Amino acid sequence: MRLRCWLGGLVAASLVASVASAADKVNLGIPNAATDVGFFIADKKGYFRAEGIEVNFIPFDSAARMITPFASGELDVGGGAPSAALFNAVGRGIDIRIVSDKSKNVTGRGSQKLLVRKDLYDSGKVRSLADLRGMKIAISAAGTSASTVMDKFLEKAGLKPDDVTLVNLGFPQQIAALQNGAIDVASPAEPTVTEAIRVTGAVPIANDYDVYPRHQVAVVLYSGKFASERPEVARKFMRAFLRGVRDHNDALAPDGNFLPGPKGDEIVSILAEYGSIKNPAVYRSFVIAYCDPNGELDLPSMKEDLGFFQAQKLIEVPVTVEKVVDTSFLDWAVKELGPYKAK
């Protein structure tokens, strides 16, 4: 009888331990932008949970700052801009992989606008790209896709980076800097664009897609440790993420605006719950950059960005885009789910 009780207790303890360790924990770095929507939906609607995954969301003000925790293995997955820091890390032998699209700018659907301080616009001092000479302009970080867009803005105006003063500020900090006059111009991503306009009265004078009509703005990144030591979890994570991205696409009209009614309302409420801006109306007031429901990457765009970083002497060792990209997890997930079909 005692043996039976002891064995019963051992089995019960094993079951408890099994349940406690059932979920595979994944540390996910995000910039907390609207284009994190696929991650947010997958978490809220239980897609990660259905794969046995528990996600720990960790905010960063730039994906370039994710490199060190990726290298140490503290970060498993990240979402953000391809950067010079990423290419340099891979060139030095650190295993970090671009595994999927997170968001692209396409004509009519972009993530960034060029915002001018209201007093400068009202006075007529800055009304177009040609007026940017001598201005203090905020970008999220040097050597990122945001900086390549800024280079395109300046190029269209016939200016060079030395013709302006570039300041590195996270998107939320750009609002405060516009408000207190610390900067003249900002280039945040949504939803910070809409919030900056609401709070500071800043005036948009250009869209990112005006100068870069198809641009791989953000990607999903895996650490080499996560990809190589936990490949099954990495595959399941991608499947859950794509389900979230597809739900987002299903909630959009052809022009990229959220559909009226339950589909759109559900995604807007998730963005407001998880995002940095809590007002649902904000997310209905702008069009989010394109999040590819099949996760397809725009390699020519990333090669153009790498060329920009090389021209700016930001790349320390030779590296190629192909060396950084690994679509094996994406290929598996798309095969499992099938190609996206709009509902």
- Judge whether residue 20 has pLDDT over 90: no
- Judge whether residue 192 has pLDDT over 80: yes
Nearest of 190, 291, 189 to residue 249 by alpha carbon: 291
Reported as a pLDDT band with limits 50, 70 and 90, residue 22 is low
Domains of the chain: 23-105+215-337 (3.40.190.10), 113-212 (3.40.190.10)
Average pLDDT along the chain = 91
Q: Are 185 and 114 in contact (CB under 8 A)?
A: yes
Q: Are 62 and 34 in contact (CB under 8 A)?
A: no
Q: Render pLDDT for 196-232 as a digit per residue (tens, 0 to 9).
A: 999 999 999 999 999 999 999 999 999 999 999 999 9
Q: Render pLDDT for 243-276 as a digit per residue (tens, 0 to 9).
A: 999 999 999 999 999 999 999 999 999 999 999 8
Reported as a pLDDT band with limits 50, 70 and 90, residue 172 is confident
By the 10 Å C-beta count (0-12 exposed, 13-18 middle, 19+ buried), 161 is classed as middle
Q: Which residues contact 51 (CB under 8 A, 6 or more apart)?
A: 233, 236, 237, 239, 240
- Judge whether residue 1 has pLDDT over 70: no
d(CA 22, CA 54): 9
Mean pLDDT of 34-45: 97
Question: What per-residue confidence (pLDDT) applies to 313?
Answer: 94
Nearest of 190, 298, 241, 214 to residue 78 by alpha carbon: 241
Q: Which residues contact 240 (CB under 8 A, 6 or more apart)?
A: 42, 47, 48, 50, 51, 53
Whole-model pTM?
0.87
Fill in the amino acid letter for 224.
G
Mean pLDDT of 179-195: 93
Mean pLDDT of 96-121: 95
**SS3 track for the chain:** CHHHHHHHHHHHHHHHHHHHCCCEEEEEEECCCHHHHHHHHHHHCCHHHHCCEEEEEEECCCHHHHHHHHHHCCCCEEEECCEHHHHHHHHCCCCEEEEEEEEEEECCECCEEEEECHHHHHCCCCCCHHHCCCCEEEECCCCEHHHHHHHHHHHHCCCCHHHCEEEECCHHHHHHHHHHCCCCEECCECCHHHHHHHHHCCEEEEEHHHHCCEEEEEEEEEEHHHHHHCHHHHHHHHHHHHHHHHHHHHCECCCCCECCCHHHHHHHHHHHHHCCCCCHHHHCCCCCCECCCCCCCCHHHHHHHHHHHHHCCCCCCCCCHHHHECCHHHHHHHHHHCCCCCC
Question: What per-residue confidence (pLDDT) applies to 140?
Answer: 86
Higher-pLDDT residue of 65 and 119 is: 119
Higher-pLDDT residue of 110 and 332 is: 332
* Dihedral angle computed from the Cα positions of residues 219, 225, 227 and 233, in that order, rounded to the nearest 10 degrees: -110
Reported as a pLDDT band with limits 50, 70 and 90, residue 302 is very high
The C-alpha R_g of the chain, in whole angstroms, comes to: 22
